[in-house]
Amino acid sequence: MRIYKMKNYEEMSRKAAIIIAAQLTLKPDSVLGLATGSTPVGAYRRLAEMHAEGGLDFSRAATINLDEYRGLAPDDRQSYRYFMQVNLFDHINIGGGRTNVPNGLAEDAAKECHRYDGVIASFGGIDMQLLGIGQNGHIGFNEPGTAFKKDTHCVDLTESTIEANRRFFGPGEDVPKQAYTMGIGSIMGARRILLLVSGREKAGIIRESLLGPITPAVPASVLQLHGDVILVGDEPALSLI
Ligand code: PGA
């Protein structure tokens, strides 16, 4: 594992964007696995700037997002499809047909999971998967449990995740309780993983994930078994390792 300890969130974001840009420069038709949440927003902003100012080219790339809330429409302001449009896709030259997010409105959850696994396979897997980490150690929405689930599945979110997500919702707005997520097998199948972590409140879980036992009780601990992980964190998040 390569670890970059950066001074603050801004520096972490800059480093992450440089690594993603390097991936795209070396392999313009890269399949990028993307993530939502507050952690990658700065990196997406920087990538959009690199596209506008330096012509960073996404035209041959494809993207596959980790997860989506079940029950939300793509144009719902709380959906992850909407998040990706607003934070990245609307600012770069990538065709809509080459960006993939699970369909929150699919009627048959099992079918949607199967379809999404087919999407991942049809692109030949993921070249670089961007990941954040939840305070309970989740990656994507693979919540702590008793087994690692390999493929895309529909999960009941834990109370702590629902609470953590509440900050993005308005007063009185319901936080979805279910989500589609790529499985641990698909994440581990990515040829390279770029893990981003920011803030003192993540210091404990990042230590447990990287130095503790490998267990489904801490889903991110499985990353210890991946041969090519780049961790970019800010000083507060990496203060315990
Ligand atoms: P955050 O979420 O980036 O908003 O902290 C990370 C996650 O829950 O995976």
The active-site residue, picked from 68, 117, 127, 143, is 143
pLDDT, tens only, 177-188: 999 999 999 999
- Kindly give the pairing relationship between strand 31-34 and strand 128-131: parallel
Residue 164 Cα, ligand 1 centroid: separation in angstroms?
8
- Active site (annotated) includes residue 138: yes
- Angle, alpha carbons 31-44-151 (nearest 5°): 40
- Could you confirm whether 235 is annotated as catalytic? no
140 lines ligand 1 (CB under 6 A): no
Supply 182's token pair.
């790529």
Q: What are phi and psi of 6, to 5 degrees?
A: -105, 160
Which parts of the chain register pLDDT below 50? none
User: Ligand 1 in contact with 134 (CB < 6 A)?
Assistant: yes
163 CB near ligand 1 (under 6 Å):
no
Is residue 133 within 6 Å of ligand 1 at its C-beta?
A: yes
Q: Whose CA is nearest to atom 2 of ligand 1?
A: 37
Question: 11 catalytic, yes or no?
Answer: no
pTM equals 0.96
Cα(35)–Cα(187) distance, integer angstroms: 11
Rg of the chain, C-alpha, whole Å: 17
Dihedrals φ, ψ of 137, to 5°?
90, 5
C-alpha span between 24 and 36 (Å, rounded):
20
| pLDDT at position 153 | 97
| 117 noted as active-site residue | no
